[in-house]
Amino acid sequence: MAVAVKKSNPDSIQGLEEWQSEVKFLGKFSHPNLVKLLGYCWEEKQFLLVYEYMQKGSLENHLFRKGAEPLPWDVRLRVSIGAAQGLAFLHTSEKSVIYRDFKTSNILLDGDYNAKLSDFGLAKLGPINGNSHITTRVMGTYGYAAPEYVATGEHNLVDWAKPSLSDKRKLKKIMDPRLEEQYPIKGALQTAELIINCLEADPRNRPSMEKVLESLEKIYAIREKPKESKVKNKKQGNNRRQEQNSAYPHRSPLHSKHGGSGNGGSAYPVGSA
């Protein structure tokens, strides 16, 4: 059985704390959309974590690695749904968990592109008995953490895209060009609307992960016929021209005006008199 082994720096206090956090949370919670912790080692300054092996690697590699095969629209939605299922489970468990580092590099994919959340080094138990206070330390990754969760509140990966999310024409400009417009427009617009809701300045106005999951599943069910790929259209156009050329070859100087030839046989269809 193939496994993945993660080694922490034994001389780093942060490394030890994150190692302990991983053991604490992944040893306690089990869900199809959380990576499985198979074992751990804490011996002679060896801090090791053994996980199930995820054949397709991280979502980050598929989206941003140079030369990576682009993921189709439906696969991207399936991955989003899987990640949302993992987060919804954490948020609604008996002792809610705040993941705190949700990003593409921490979403791992198995051989069938099922998404699983990994790296619980920054995870923390949620508020208890209605207490909304969580932490005074800034954790997570700039550009991914909620704006009010970062000291300045100004680090947000999609600030540049927000003006385009509610405009159909502008939305096309920020869609991944590698999709080649192979996605239902209605689904893309509903996804943009969901993103806008998740980026509300007031946390109380943002949807819960259960609501996000529900919205993603509805979007996934949309099966509008996507536009044909521009590359595909170009190839089809070339093929049609080739077929026409082969069916109707260029006229030879030997052919008469009406299509007859000196040896009989016609290069063009001729109507009967």
Q: Please list, residue by residue across 120-137, b when 16 or more beta carbons sit within 10 angstroms of its beta carbon and e when fewer do.
A: bbbbbeeeeeeeeeeeee
The 3-state DSSP class for residue 2 equals: coil
pLDDT digits (tens, 9 = 90+) for 225-245: 655 655 555 555 555 555 555
Phi then psi for residue 40, to 5 deg, are -150, 160
Rounded Cα distance between 180 and 219, Å, is 19
Domain boundaries, the chain: 3-52, 57-128+138-220
Catalytic residues: 101
- Identity at 206, one-letter amino acid code: R
pLDDT tens digits for range 85-137? 999 999 998 778 887 788 999 999 999 999 999 987 666 776 655 444 444 34
- Domain 3-52 identical in fold to domain 57-128+138-220: no
Q: Which CATH number fits domain 3-52: 3.40.50.720, 3.30.200.20, 3.30.930.10, 3.40.470.10?
A: 3.30.200.20
pTM (two decimals): 0.72
Query: Per CATH, the architecture of 57-128+138-220 is what?
Result: Orthogonal Bundle (1.10)
Q: How far apart are CA 170 and CA 138, in angstroms?
A: 34
Instruction: Encode pLDDT of 15-72 as tens digits.
Output: 777 888 788 877 888 999 999 989 988 887 788 889 999 999 999 999 999 999 999 9
Residue whose pair of structure tokens reads 């704390």 in the numeric block: 17
Please say whether the beta carbons of 90 and 99 come within 8 A.
yes
Where does the chain show beta strands of DSSP type E?
3-8, 37-43, 46-52, 57-58, 97-98, 107-109, 115-117, 124-125
CA atoms of 116 and 273, how far apart (whole Å) = 74
Average pLDDT score over the chain: 77
Q: 167-199 as b/e, with b when 16 or more CB fall inside 10 Å?
A: eeeebeeebeeebbebbbeebbbbbbebeeebb
For residues 199-215, give the mean pLDDT. Answer: 94
Q: In Å, how far are 6, 98, 128, 175 from 89, measured between CA atoms? A: 24, 11, 17, 29
